[in-house]
Amino acid sequence: MDVIPIDYETLRLIWWALLGVLLIGFAIMGGMDLGVGTLLPAVARTDEERRVLLNLIGPTWEGNQVWLVLGGGAIFAAFPPLYAVSFSGFYLAMIVILLALILRPVGFKFRGKIADKRWRDTWDWALFIGGFVPALIFGVAVGNVLLGAPFDLDRTLRPSYLGNFFGLLTPFALLCGLVSLGMLVTIGASIIAKRTEGVIAERATRYGQWSALGTIALFALGGVWIAFGIDGYVITSAVVTDLPSNPLAKRVELVPGGWMANYSTYPWMIVAPVLGFAGMALAWLGLRIKRNLLALLASGVGIFGIVSTAGLSLFPFLLPSSHNPTASLTLWDASSSQLTLFIMLVATVIFMPIILAYTSWVYKVISGPVTTKSLSRNPNAY
């Protein structure tokens, strides 16, 4: 291990941060697509208007899935126990998300095959489901992580999940789902307002203002609920950060307001919720005064702050166990080996700049407005 230039503790921290970056990247980039899909029936009323929205996200939605794939891959390779518990325990929820996401490529490709109103309306609603359902359930998943998942580990570290799909739909988890839905609708409305014109942009502006204010209110309610109504998980034994992973080699207890402890230990973490509130407030203001670029950038900052708030509140936990708190998974005891994390980091340093450069180039190329006139000039438009 002496040949590895980065110590085990630092590598674990780096991969915890990189996992957060990938999830935030998907929430912002993929969130624009999910938000536009959710707004499709409300913002676009005619076939031409809906074609404008489809061609707004058509060139980029597939590429934005890279962030989701990379996030799942990072969990699989960097934190295998987390992958084993979450992808098996939340299996039905994952299937619902995947089925909803599958509706999007099918809807994009099939909608224009037949010039029939009922046919196209059916696929428009499929595209709405493909945006609304993942946006909601991703937030529900985060809510259940904060509550703790009902799983246990035996002495050989083999996981067993003791819950069911409907047990995930608790009031607090649904509140988190609504926060997720609100912030993604806000960024979706912002990109519509930025890159379309006329009545479509006006409707998007109106819905975006409502969703931004709703997100602020729901995010505040969630913070109060976590502080005063939900017990948080705290490691009560010595924290060992550089030994081989063994989740059972620690003690964990539930403590009232435990998820707020990090903000006392690390005061700088308060920046995350501040950015969440400020970003959504600026997004509302930008839409209100027709500064749509400001609204788009601010909604991205708001999403960054809200997602970061959840991750920093959980630190160092990745997935607490409500059945047996000692079995909870943390970044210190649920990671791959030091060598694996280092090799993955080298690959990330090489390929992440390529992904960012290509994404930036694509958005620069398609930065112009999408209108019914521009569709008429594009033979490849949806």
- According to DSSP, residue 266 is labeled S
pLDDT value of residue 33 = 94
pLDDT value of residue 2 = 57
Distance CA 246, CA 81 (A): 10
Retrieve residue 322's tokens: 């409500």
Q: b/e for 287-307, b at 16 or more Cβ within 10 A?
A: beeebbebbbbbbbbbbbbbb
Q: In which residue ranges of the chain is pLDDT below 50? A: 1
pLDDT value of residue 1 = 46
pLDDT value of residue 42 = 94
Retrieve residue 63's tokens: 């590429």
User: Is residue 357 packed enough to be buried (19+ CB in 10 Å), middle (13-18) or exposed (0-12)?
Assistant: exposed
Q: pLDDT tens digits for 260-311? A: 999 999 999 999 999 999 999 999 999 999 999 999 999 999 999 999 999 9
Q: To which residue do tokens 């398609």 refer? A: 366
Distance CA 273, CA 264 (A): 14
pLDDT value of residue 369 = 87
pLDDT value of residue 367 = 81
Q: Which residues, 6 or more positions from 142, have their beta carbon under 8 angstroms from its beta carbon?
A: 176, 180, 310
Say if residues 145 and 170 touch (Cβ distance below 8 Å).
Answer: no
Instruction: State how far the alpha carbon of 298 is from the alpha carbons of 15, 318, 323, in Å.
Output: 26, 28, 39
DSSP strand E in 283-377: where? Answer: 317-319, 329-330
Q: b/e for 184-216, b at 16 or more Cβ within 10 A?
A: bbbbbbbbbbbbbeeebbebbbebbbebbbbbb
DSSP strand E in 157-315: where? Answer: 159-161, 231-235, 252-256
pLDDT value of residue 207 = 97
Distance CA 194, CA 287 (A): 9
Say if residues 75 and 23 touch (Cβ distance below 8 Å).
Answer: no
State the pairing for strand pair 151-153/252-256. unpaired
Q: To which residue do tokens 């435990």 refer? A: 258
At 320, is the secondary structure helix, strand, or coil?
coil
At 275, is the secondary structure helix, strand, or coil?
helix
Q: How far is CA 227 from the centre of its chain?
A: 22
Distance CA 379, CA 382 (A): 9
